[in-house]
Amino acid sequence: MFHVSTLLPYTENDSQQLQRKRHIGNDIVAIVFQEENTPFAPDLIASNFLHSYVVVQPVEPCTPNTRYRVSITARKDVPFFGPTLPLPSIFEKGEDFREFLLTKLINAELACYRAERFAKLEERTRASLLSVLVEDLRQQTNEYLGLQESPETQKTNRFTDIVKKVLERSKNNPPKVSTAGGAGGGVSNNMFSSITQRSTTESQSLSDGTPKSTRSKASKESAEHCSGGSDNSSVNSNEFEVHPVAHNEDSDTGLESMSSAETLHKRYPLCVGTEEGMCSLHGDPSGIISQIETLKQEINKLKCEKYDLIRKNTAFQRDIRKLKEKDMRLQGDLHNSTKEISRLQSLMNDLGTAQVSAV
């Protein structure tokens, strides 16, 4: 596609002619037609995209012997592109010159793409597209396999992972209805036996200085407390938390200090006493699943907010980059203006000296 300056939108009484500059300044290669042999300085055109210029000057125009003189210029980081200009670089009017000029323009654009500025733009765009593709693929794979969504949300998903593991254990060990707890005994013996086993494991993980009789006594007391039938058949989880403190164990109940690789007795703080007197992790699975879904929704909401912040940050960085480029352009214009003023002053001084010498 070619942008012809004389055919672009023109606005009267507009010295800037932004409609024309907007199209020509965003091109990569520009072809300049000169009616006369006048000097052409590419630096006078302030553009970040124009990297190559093809200057065409007619020789003996409007005659049967019309020819064209061609000159090529490009920035330093633009590699060589063909076809090579003949010596002298004068072409006769005809189809051959048209074909040469069109080929030269296309090759110039392809060569400019390998310049430093366009290479960086291409690399950044390709990296952005690949990162988005990898992120989408990883997200869809995690959703399909039911894995964690990202390593950044690992701390947030720890509670969810603990709940899932406890549910899996409860499914692997199905509870049996207790018949020794009386009319109100609705808690299963299997759950009590699992808690008793955890208490035994806890007592075995203590220091060697604790007597065996004390450990066996603590295990028996835990078993008697858990298996005894009462009117409400409830388990007070706070009593289980006393055992680690009595044996100088860490009594931290924070969820952040827990890990799936730790011993089982450190999960007792999750069994907070409820109104029904039973551990909430062994309650209704549908309620736990709904809680997990709520946590997932909150995590997705936080991820969306994070992506919005990243998008805003990218927009701000883009604006800052544009302002920096504008500042550099203004500094370049100021430098060129200063050089032009110095040149004019030197010319005025030379003219004044010549007039004085003539007198």
Question: E-strand spans in 67-137?
Answer: 67-74, 90-92
- Of the pLDDT bands very low, low, confident and very high (cuts 50, 70, 90), residue 337 is very high
Q: Is 180 helix (H, G, I), strand (E, B) or coil?
A: coil
As given in the structure block, the two tokens for residue 234 are: 């409830």
Read off the pLDDT of residues 253-267 as tens digits, 9 standing for 90 and up: 443 434 344 444 444
Read off the pLDDT of residues 47-66 as tens digits, 9 standing for 90 and up: 778 888 889 989 888 888 88
Q: 251 or 357, which is more confident? A: 357
Q: What is the pLDDT of residue 320?
A: 93
- Of the pLDDT bands very low, low, confident and very high (cuts 50, 70, 90), residue 227 is very low
Give the architecture (CATH level 2) of 5-114: 3-Layer(aba) Sandwich (3.40)
- Of the pLDDT bands very low, low, confident and very high (cuts 50, 70, 90), residue 222 is very low
Read off the pLDDT of residues 127-177 as tens digits, 9 standing for 90 and up: 989 988 998 898 888 888 877 655 554 444 555 666 666 666 666 655 444
Q: 280 or 337, which is more confident? A: 337
Q: What number is the average pLDDT over the span 276-290?
A: 62
- Contact (Cβ atoms closer than 8 angstroms) between residue 263 and residue 244: no
Q: 182 or 336, which is more confident? A: 336
pTM: predicted TM-score of the whole model, two decimal places:
0.36
Q: Is 133 exposed, middle or buried (0-12, 13-18, 19+ CB in 10 A)?
A: exposed
- Quick one: what percent of the chain has pLDDT higher than 70? 61
As given in the structure block, the two tokens for residue 279 are: 């551990």
- Contact (Cβ atoms closer than 8 angstroms) between residue 157 and residue 292: no
- Contact (Cβ atoms closer than 8 angstroms) between residue 178 and residue 278: no
- Of the pLDDT bands very low, low, confident and very high (cuts 50, 70, 90), residue 336 is very high
Q: Where are the domains of the chain?
A: 5-114, 152-283, 290-337
Q: Is 209 helix (H, G, I), strand (E, B) or coil?
A: coil
Read off the pLDDT of residues 90-137 as tens digits, 9 standing for 90 and up: 888 888 889 999 999 999 988 888 888 888 888 888 898 998 899 889
Mean of the per-residue pLDDT values of the chain: 71
27 Cβ neighbours under 8 A, 6+ residues apart:
3, 49, 50
Closest to 279 measured CA to CA, from 241, 243, 251, 244: 241
* Helix 285-358 vs helix 158-172: crossing angle, to nearest 10: 160
- Contact (Cβ atoms closer than 8 angstroms) between residue 295 and residue 160: yes
Sheet of 67-74: strand order equals: 29-33, 52-59, 67-74, 90-92
